A and B are shown apart, each in its own frame.
Chain A
Amino acid sequence: MNLLFFCISRLLQLVPVLLGITIVAFLLLRVMPGDPATLMLGSRGTPEDIAALTSQLGLDRPLWQQYLSFLGDIARGSFGRSIAYKAEIGPLLIARLWPTLALVGLSTVIAVLMTIPLAMYTAVRRNGAVDHAVKFFFVTAMAMPPFWLGVLLVLPLAIAVPIFPVSGYGQDWLDKLHHLALPAFIIALGTAALTIRSLRSSIIAVLGADYVDTARAKGLPERSVLRRHVFRNSLTSTISVLAVHTSWVIGGTVVIETVFGIPGLGSLLVASISARDYPMVQGLTVTFAVLVVVINLLADIAYSIVDPRVSLS
């Protein structure tokens, strides 16, 4: 009940941000130097084509009217019409949403699965050989361009020993998971680099807390102390790190989806930019921003579940 109220009030607070997002996405392609219709058609456009496109997109109307009709399109769920696909944008976005969500979700799961044991181990055995090795590996991993890893790892893992498919998305969910595994792992390396670092230092801080001594003084085995008392109290700052980083990951799908030929929002963005399909680009930027907002909301909720001191109002 409390949680529901919290979610609703947070959603209401989001209204101005969401409106702002639509304004920025709307203006993004209009305040740029040059006329959108000319840019879209490039050197191929004859003056007649440009005039036709201008009126089709309503670019000859005042800015505020254009914005209101854009808002209307969003409210209707159509997001306008794609130039390249010659169809309503909304349904296309929804079809492309799932592969991207699956990729981001899977990579987050992989990152969390790597983070928890490694952060726990390196925090308890800090300054040991494993601690140094993990630190070095992930600092290096953070500097690796995901697209480069994508290009290179295909050689040993998809061509020489065909464990993973080279690219594409697959049919049933198992096949899809198989196709997403390698790109998700590559994204997860970067995420884990940050979360391991954050969780490790939180755990070290919590290990020195008085209540951990209380728990030990009760006679709990060290394993229970770590699991019940240390772990949960270390999570809060790592949740924020993960949420901020997920925004980066969502943007990163643009590149990794293109490398692995995954039919998600990211590869659609690159294709739409190349095709100069501006209404589509506009719809995509709104969608990406809304995804980030939703993820931050989820992180806030997770935060308040983990820490009862954060009031839900």
Chain B
Amino acid sequence: MSAAHNTLAVEHLRVTFGKAPNAATAVDDVSFEIRQGEVFGLVGESGCGKSVTCRSLIQLFGGSRPSAMTGSISFEGRNLAALQPKDLVKVRGSEIAMIFQDPMTALNPTMKVGRQIEEGLRQHEKLSARQAREKAITLLKSVGVMAPERRLDSYPHAFSGGMRQRVLIAIALACRPKLLIADEPTTALDVTVQDQILKLILKLRAEIGMAVLLVTHDLGVVAQTCDRVAVMYAGRIVELATTEQLFAKPSHPYTRALLNALPAHGGRGGRLQPIGGSPPSLAAPPPGCRFHPRCSLAIPACELQQPPLAAIQEGHSAACIRIGEPA
């Protein structure tokens, strides 16, 4: 548990969009660590703040900038949250890389694939044009793209979705980062391709020795790939555990509900149990525990205060006041 083994430590991260009275806190007091070389899963329904959490790490918000961001993000001895933009740019791509959900839109349609791979190499490693090209060929080969010498000069529209995600992985891993953020990397792909991409990420993680932050809404993916998991609900982490602990002893009612919704895990009678209700608005979250309006175990006390994450056993904690009560 010592800090020396952590690649990344996020503490009290809070990210808000918009101005009061319409301010929405997408990430609310989130803390977690990612250890060297591990695959850390971040799970939750869409809109729970998992995407914003990982985008905050390298402050990459696309079109909408947050109005406020507090907390600390220590990475290799630096606080990324306090870094000047020009220093943060040096971290992106070289030490922390990211791949996105939809490979169909994540590649520049007007630039040859080879150049898109070479760009990062030339930026960070100051390679010559020829060196960058050779490295790009090696990279494409390592992500399983056939005839890379030829494919280098194609435009993205000549690639399938799965192939594009491979190219995006090659772009992300070009400079051998210490941490790869993968934001739902398989959601937009066919089921058969999903599996290949996950296996590819795991294989390359072992080769490079990097840590992976894997964002997903799919607990099946978590079971298959992750060492440790954080479950997010409405901007907060509600349960944090190793993958075995989570599946063996899911402790937060929300985690249990998610597991019951999973076909293979099958609740009673093997039936899929959907979670009733819908996630709350982040602009006006319910008082107390944010899950209580949808929780089958809710008691009046749940509306009064937000439960903190409390340890259940070594490496496993959950944020629910009813934990520890005799069942």
A214 to B, closest residue via Cβ = B106
Residues of chain B within 8 A of A233, CB atoms compared: 108-110
The listed residue (A213, A218, A221, A222) touching B120 by CB distance below 8 A is A218
Contact B108 A215 (CB under 8 A): yes
Contact B90 A214 (CB under 8 A): no
Instruction: State A209–B110 Cα separation when bound (angstroms).
Output: 13
1/0 per position for B80-114, CB-CB distance to A under 8 A? 00000110011111100110101001111111000
Residues of chain B within 8 A of A216, CB atoms compared: 60, 92
Residues of chain A within 8 A of B100, CB atoms compared: 210, 213-214, 217
Residues of chain B within 8 A of A212, CB atoms compared: 62
The listed residue (A211, A221, A307, A309) touching B89 by CB distance below 8 A is A221
Instruction: State A15–B124 Cα separation when bound (angstroms).
Output: 53
Residues of chain A within 8 A of B157, CB atoms compared: 308-309
Interface membership of B137, Cβ < 8 A: no
Instruction: State A305–B287 Cα separation when bound (angstroms).
Output: 56
Interface membership of B171, Cβ < 8 A: yes
Interface membership of A229, Cβ < 8 A: yes
Contact B109 A217 (CB under 8 A): no
Residues of chain A within 8 A of B94, CB atoms compared: 219
Contact B111 A209 (CB under 8 A): no
Contact A309 B108 (CB under 8 A): no
Instruction: State A211–B94 Cα separation when bound (angstroms).
Output: 18
The listed residue (B63, B109, B155) touching A211 by CB distance below 8 A is B109
Contact B108 A219 (CB under 8 A): no
Residues of chain A within 8 A of B175, CB atoms compared: 219
Contact B123 A207 (CB under 8 A): no
Interface membership of A11, Cβ < 8 A: no
A213 to chain B, nearest CB (A): 5
1/0 per position for B56-71, CB-CB distance to A under 8 A? 0010101100000000
Interface membership of B119, Cβ < 8 A: yes
Residues of chain A within 8 A of B110, CB atoms compared: 232-233, 306-308
Interface membership of B168, Cβ < 8 A: yes
> Which A191-220 residues sit within 8 Å CB-CB of chain B?
207-220
Interface membership of A228, Cβ < 8 A: yes
Contact B60 A217 (CB under 8 A): yes
Interface membership of B26, Cβ < 8 A: no
Instruction: State A228–B109 Cα separation when bound (angstroms).
Output: 12
Contact B123 A219 (CB under 8 A): yes
Instruction: State A308–B58 Cα separation when bound (angstroms).
Output: 31
Instruction: State A308–B155 Cα separation when bound (angstroms).
Output: 7
Residues of chain A within 8 A of B119, CB atoms compared: 215, 218, 220, 228
Instruction: State A208–B60 Cα separation when bound (angstroms).
Output: 11
> Which B148-180 residues sit within 8 Å CB-CB of chain A?
155, 157, 168, 171-172, 174-175
A215 to B, closest residue via Cβ = B108
Instruction: State A208–B65 Cα separation when bound (angstroms).
Output: 11
Contact B106 A210 (CB under 8 A): yes
Contact A217 B108 (CB under 8 A): no
| Given A207-B63, A212-B62, A213-B62, also A218-B171 (CB < 8 A) | yes
B100 to chain A, nearest CB (A): 6
Q: Which of A207, A210, A228, A306 has the most chain B CB within a 10 Å cutoff?
A: A210
Contact B60 A308 (CB under 8 A): no
Contact B62 A219 (CB under 8 A): no
Contact A214 B107 (CB under 8 A): yes
A207 to B, closest residue via Cβ = B63
A300 to chain B, nearest CB (A): 16
Contact A214 B109 (CB under 8 A): no
Q: Which of A211, A222, A233, A306 has the most chain B CB within a 10 Å cutoff?
A: A211
Residues of chain A within 8 A of B174, CB atoms compared: 218
Contact A307 B109 (CB under 8 A): yes
Residues of chain A within 8 A of B62, CB atoms compared: 208, 210, 212-213
A224 to chain B, nearest CB (A): 8
Contact A210 B102 (CB under 8 A): yes
A86 to chain B, nearest CB (A): 54
Instruction: State A218–B170 Cα separation when bound (angstroms).
Output: 11
A-B contacts, 24 of them at CB < 8 A, read A210-B62, A210-B105, A211-B107, A211-B108, A212-B62, A214-B107, A214-B116, A215-B119, A217-B93, A217-B97, A217-B100, A218-B120, A218-B171, A219-B92, A219-B123, A220-B120, A220-B123, A222-B85, A224-B123, A229-B108, A232-B111, A307-B110, A309-B109, A309-B157
10 closest pairs, A vs B, by CB?
A: A219-B93, A208-B63, A219-B92, A218-B120, A218-B93, A210-B105, A217-B98, A308-B155, A210-B106, A211-B108
Question: Given A217-B172, A233-B108, A308-B155, list of 7 further CB < 8 A pairs?
Answer: A214-B107, A214-B108, A215-B119, A219-B175, A229-B108, A232-B111, A307-B109
